[in-house]
Amino acid sequence: MERSSPTQLPQDQEHSTGELVKMMTEQVSVLIRDELKLAQLEMASKGKQAALSAGMFGASGVVAVYGVGCLLACAIIAISGVVAAWLAALIVGAALLAAAGVAALLGRRRMRKAAPPVPEQAVAGVKADIEEIKERAHR
């Protein structure tokens, strides 16, 4: 990205303080504007990449669900060689529900440990900063 060029005065003449402040203000303004444009372009590019990545993750999840379905059908068919097909499906379904229950209980336990969802370290850091500023202001 090409930078904008602020108005330039000839280098061989001396400038008054007012002119120097004006030049500095113009240059800082242009610099900030250009940096914001660059950040906007960079974030747009990263956003497109993130969207594409999320789509790929979603597609892999769908394919994984179909793969698990095939493996479950295989397990049912394998067990149906020993017992009736309906009983094989019942056994596999019950095992899946038991696994889901265990996962739900473990997730619930972890969720309780995470509560409350307040960034405690960040809040403590901000409070410490405020106290430091108050102490320095009273000196």
pLDDT digit string (tens) for 74-121?
A: 999 999 999 999 999 999 999 999 999 999 999 999 888 877 767 777
Give the global pTM.
0.49
11 and 78 share a domain? yes
Residue 4 DSSP class: P
| 61 shares its domain with 49 | yes
Inter-axis angle of helices 17-80 and 85-114, nearest 10:
150
Q: Are residues 14 and 65 in the same domain?
A: yes
The single residue listed with the structure tokens 């009273």 is: 138
Same domain for 37 and 74, yes or no, is yes
% pLDDT > 90, the chain? 42
The stretch 109-134 carries a mean pLDDT of 80
Number of CB atoms found within 10 A of residue 30's CB:
14
Provide the residue range defining the domain that includes 112: 85-139
Note the pLDDT of residue 96. 95
Measure the CA–CA gap between 25 and 32, rounded to whole angstroms. 11
Same domain, 64 and 126: no
Same domain, 15 and 78: yes
Domain boundary among 42, 58, 82: 82
Q: Is the pLDDT of residue 8 over 60?
A: no
